[in-house]
Chains A and B, each alone.
Chain A
């Protein structure tokens, strides 16, 4: 079972993502912000990481850039799931090293489909 780290400061949405993914058969670890995400991820053991962009302490962008520096997460697929949809924001996210930038609100099926796509891609 794939193990996914979700970083989201908004509790309702964090819960929503976790529920959606768990309902679709993923093992989900969720944290409150970018800092916690880095702490959790550098221990290792995640197949994919979902990051919000705007979070307290450490933003999703900064967390992503950090994670790309760690050996354990260097090749882990990272997907942004953000309400920030301006072109420059999307670009910033991809430039920070993410694989995908999904806009909120999201369709659960789409999210699951994209996650499955990256999981399959990283396994190769």
Chain B
């Protein structure tokens, strides 16, 4: 092989240049590939005086050249292939000018047609002469192939476009035809039949998955009847259709009958020369496999055939899916029709239907988890809408925030979230929907400002969302998402809206039901608690020993406890509802007094009466009962009266026993003392003979101490009687000045005389002192006691001064001495029972410590007052104030002079 020297420019500029210009002009007007190829080829032949030649196009799919035009002698096959190979490798023209062999051809020029450095075809020129192709010819052919490449590619593109247009036009017709059919087997069959024509093949088959197998569903052309029901295992990747199903992409076998990559389980498959299979894809799902077969040609399919078949497969899949849906819808429809008919019969009117819905929803809510119901609803809705995921957002009526009761994701278990995730209803797309109360489809989130991909889910491309409106209130949003744009249609929106209103009503009803149930439970609980509380109170009231009787404002008995019934000796049923005055006369005068007070209160409209304790006691058979009465006011209004009865029979008995005991004890003490004192005195009298001075003195000690014991017993009796309220005053008009004078003259002076103690006594009594209503004996007792004290606690040489005067109401008596006096501490205790000063001079004086306690009690019984003033070691003054008239606690003033 010899490389030619570079051509001279002049040689190309000659006839070749003119030819190139002409060809260029010619090619510009033609878009038909055959025309272009023909023109180029003829011009090449004509301008090179060749004896033969050919023009071929390169085919990517086969990796070889396909001859389009051949003239004259042709190159032996092996020579041609070798040259083609060299051209493919070098991408440059090849010249051979001294060929040997049986072929008459001796010179060959092969030039690649390059488009942007990629091979598109080649031109081969042959001559019987050696060294036929000079440098000029090579240059010309290079230039020509350059011109041709552009034209060829343009024409190819044009033709491809035309072919695709034809294909798509055909496809459109086919799809229309298929879509017009909704019967599933018919659609499958149609897809196969149309495939034959569309792809110019003689066999078309549809496989569909059934368990672990692919099963022949429909076929057209070759072995049509044998294909249906053919079954191949899905996992066997050496079967073409299974390999496609698993790889989810189209595959070609251009030598199917002998292709080692594949096995052919059925005999009829062996006749197939070329095979192509693509998945029938609907969105992410593969619903079947479309297989095309050519039984005559090998190398029948190219990559673009896969592309076209895949596209057709998608259309077919949609049709198939639609047919499926329609079939399901038809079934659903039939069921729905039945149900509608049933429900219409059962429910009749709209109102009834609402009530039924409420009941059904309530029962659902009570028996089922609301979340599960919602998820199920979403899944049902999505069977038609086919979103990738979705959710229901509800507005929490308390916080105003969203709660997330329900979500689902296709092929996954739905997550159930109820926690607050801080998403407020006024924000985001949901907020927009709630404000606008309007359903929305967002075809592409990338182009829609309402969807904030940065804070919401970025993988979402399409959204269909409807507001959930119940009773004119937006309670939430139902949203469905798809990761591809334009996934939702207007029709789906309408369906979801309808479902949304059902969901909204169900949720609203369920919430209402929950609310009512909660309310009922709370009321029930409160009632129970109140019942327990009142039972407790009742039990307490019943268990207390005091009788409690409540009369209302009109005097009707509204409540009486068991004790009241026992004490009043009337069974409770007869007490309740009775008017209080029906008890009049049953319990003697004191009982009537009680009733009269209650009636007075009931009829009085004045200021509130004060609680009272009736001094009188009721004697009911063998019981002694005390009564206390209390008015009841509620917000300033007289409500009624509470009477408390206390059975004091026992207390009275105890009291009596106590006084009997005191009486017995004092008697038993006095009897031995009588002997002691009596015999001592008798001996002192000389009844037993003369006595020595010592004997006399000792006997005097015995006698004196017997007197002290006797005094103590008397004082004890007194104080016990006063305290038990047994001491009553015999009130008469009393002249205090007379009594004072008597006590001073008879008692005090005889004491002084008897003991020969130097005490001066002065009296200073206002003349004509008014009379005082008092008990003469008790007043005498008081004064005697006070004078005794003054005398005993004043050392010899001292003085006692008595004064008496009166004002309009009281008579004042003061007894002033110059005795030991009292310390501050002693002053506070001097009237206490059994109190005696610790001081030695006081202790020397015999005493019980009861005298002043008795004095004070007696003074107070008279409505008077006794006070003491004292300076230690200087003396004391006891002052007595007695009221002139009887302003006394007791009322038994006796007319006795």
User: Taking beta carbons and an 8 Å cutoff, which residues of A are in contact with B?
Assistant: 10, 12-13, 16-17, 19-20, 23-24, 54, 83-87, 89, 103-109
Contact = CB atoms under 8 A, between A and B. Distances in A.
Contacts of B670: 83, 85, 103-105
Interface stretch (B313-321, B430-438, B673-681, B785-793): B673-681
Interface in B656-703: 659, 662-663, 666-671, 673-679, 681-682, 685-687
Contacts of A86: 659, 662-663, 666, 717, 721
B699 to A, nearest CB: 12
B403 to A, nearest CB: 89
Contact of A83 (B674, B686, B687, B727): B674
A10 to B, nearest CB: 6
B677 A105 contact: yes
A87 B673 contact: no
B674 A20 contact: no
Contacts of B671: 10, 13, 83, 104
A20 B677 contact: no
A12 B674 CA distance: 9
Contacts of A107: 677, 681, 707
B721 A12 contact: no
A17 B678 CA distance: 8
Nearest to A107: B681
Interface in B709-768: 710, 713-714, 717, 721, 727
Given A23-B685, A54-B667, A85 B714 contact: yes
B674 A106 contact: yes
A85 B677 CA distance: 17
Given A23-B685, A83-B667, A89-B663, A108 B717 contact: no
Contact of B679 (A10, A16, A24, A104): A16
Interface residues of B, number: 29
Nearest to B686: A23
Interface string B215-259: 000000000000000000000000000000000000000000000
Given A85-B714, A85-B717, A87-B721, A108 B667 contact: no
Interface in B804-821: none
How would you classify the secondary structure of chain B's contact residues: helix, strand, loop or mixed?
helix
A27 to B, nearest CB: 16
Contacts of A104: 670-671, 673-674
Contacts of A16: 674-675, 678-679, 682
A86 B685 CA distance: 30
Nearest to A24: B685
Contact of A84 (B663, B685, B687): B663
Given A20-B685, A83-B666, A109-B681, 10 more contacts: A13-B674, A19-B682, A20-B682, A23-B687, A86-B721, A104-B671, A105-B706, A106-B677, A106-B678, A107-B681
A103 B679 CA distance: 16
Contacts of A19: 682, 687
27 contacts: A13-B671, A16-B678, A16-B679, A19-B687, A20-B678, A20-B681, A23-B687, A83-B667, A84-B667, A85-B666, A85-B667, A85-B670, A85-B713, A86-B662, A103-B670, A103-B710, A105-B673, A105-B676, A105-B677, A105-B678, A105-B706, A106-B674, A106-B678, A107-B677, A108-B681, A108-B685, A109-B681
B682 A23 contact: yes
Contacts of B710: 103, 105
Contacts of B717: 85-86
A100 B667 CA distance: 18
Contacts of A24: 685
Closest 5 CB pairs of A and B: A83-B670, A104-B674, A105-B677, A105-B674, A16-B678
A113 to B, nearest CB: 13
A13 B678 contact: yes
B216 to A, nearest CB: 132
Q: Which of A13, A83, A109 has the most CB of B within 10 A?
A: A83
Contacts of B677: 105-107
Contacts of B714: 85, 103
Nearest to A87: B721
B64 to A, nearest CB: 154
Interface string B643-664: 0000000000000000100110
A103 to B, nearest CB: 7
Nearest to B663: A86
Nearest to A23: B687
A103 B671 CA distance: 10
Contacts of A103: 670, 710, 714
Contacts of B727: 87
Contacts of A84: 663, 666-667
Nearest to A84: B667
A103 B710 CA distance: 10
A109 B659 CA distance: 32
Q: Which of B671, B682, B687, B710 has the most CB of A within 10 A?
A: B671
A105 B680 CA distance: 11
Contacts of B687: 19-20, 23
Contacts of B678: 13, 16-17, 20, 105-106, 108
Q: Which of A16, A54, A104 has the most CB of B within 10 A?
A: A104
B694 to A, nearest CB: 21
A83 B289 CA distance: 136
Nearest to B727: A87
A107 B754 CA distance: 15
A87 B720 CA distance: 12
A20 B710 CA distance: 20
Contacts of A85: 666-667, 670, 713-714, 717
A86 B720 CA distance: 11
A101 to B, nearest CB: 13
Nearest to B720: A86
A13 B685 contact: no
Contacts of A108: 678, 681-682, 685
A106 B707 CA distance: 9
Contacts of B682: 16, 19-20, 23, 108
A106 B677 CA distance: 7
B739 to A, nearest CB: 20
A19 to B, nearest CB: 6
Contacts of B685: 20, 23-24, 108
Nearest to A53: B667
Nearest to B679: A16
A13 B714 CA distance: 20
B731 to A, nearest CB: 16
A118 to B, nearest CB: 20
Contacts of B668: 83
B407 to A, nearest CB: 99
